[in-house]
Chains A and B, each alone.
Chain A
Amino acid sequence: SQQGEEDPQALSIQEGENATMNCSYKTSINNLQWYRQNSGRGLVHLILIRSNEREKHSGRLRVTLDTSKKSSSLLITASRAADTASYFCATDAAGTASKLTFGTGTRLQVTL
């Protein structure tokens, strides 16, 4: 079963705009990871944030984590057409030996 939900399910923006995706989960976690998936391809790891971290940056990506609300957000700044993909959050629940549980994903469309 899915651990949580990404919100929105689909997002369409123009190149240069920022994209924000949210993720909610249900159980206590060790880590939360964000992945990108292009259509028909595998998952590309974007960023990992630990449960004791609140914010993390990597290039144009900014991830926040609020463990009290069991939620995370992924911000992509200055989006590009190449950012078009599905984005998934995945949680590593406490005591599960790094087994990931994924949400349902956000489909991002960046148009020129």
Chain B
Amino acid sequence: DTGVSQNPRHKITKRGQNVTFRCDPISEHNRLYWYRQTLGQGPEFLTYFQNEAQLEKSRLLSDRFSAERPKGSFSTLEIQRTEQGDSAMYLCASSLPAGTGGTGNTIYFGEGSWLTVV
């Protein structure tokens, strides 16, 4: 399977603990995005990388959240001191550079990582 891969798929953690999610984008996709989705809502943008550079962060990304993409390939999203309000599905997506021919702006999503904070 050469799609966007995320793990773990499910994580249950106690409030106050730290959690980390990993995303492996589609090979050759230099753009990588993180989104958060709560029940009954559409995904909301958190942050995006072009290669290893984090170019934009949403106001939703509090200082307890940190995302990295150290070598421009996989990415991690860490949530420190989790709160019950962090319970959501965290989605990773990737795409080719803008301006790529054909449907190069298509953004492909992974299966998501469910977080439950108890």
Contact = CB atoms under 8 A, between A and B. Distances in A.
Interface of A: 1-2, 30-31, 33, 35, 40-45, 48, 88, 90, 92, 97-105
B31 interface: yes
Interface in B27-49: 31, 33, 35, 40-45, 48
| Number of chain B interface residues as a range | 20 to 34
Nearest to B113: A42
Interface stretch (B12-20, B70-78, B101-109): B101-109
B41 to A, nearest CB: 6
Contact of A48 (B50, B106, B112): B106
Given A30-B105, A41-B111, A48-B105, A2 B45 contact: no
A42 B112 contact: yes
A44 B109 CA distance: 7
B111 A42 contact: yes
Contacts of B4: 42
Contact of B95 (A1, A40, A98): A98
Contact of B55 (A30, A33, A97): A97
Given A2-B42, A100-B33, 9 more contacts: A1-B44, A42-B4, A42-B110, A45-B107, A92-B105, A97-B98, A99-B33, A100-B107, A102-B43
Interface in B83-97: 91, 93, 95
A42 B91 contact: yes
B45 A98 contact: no
Contacts of B6: 42
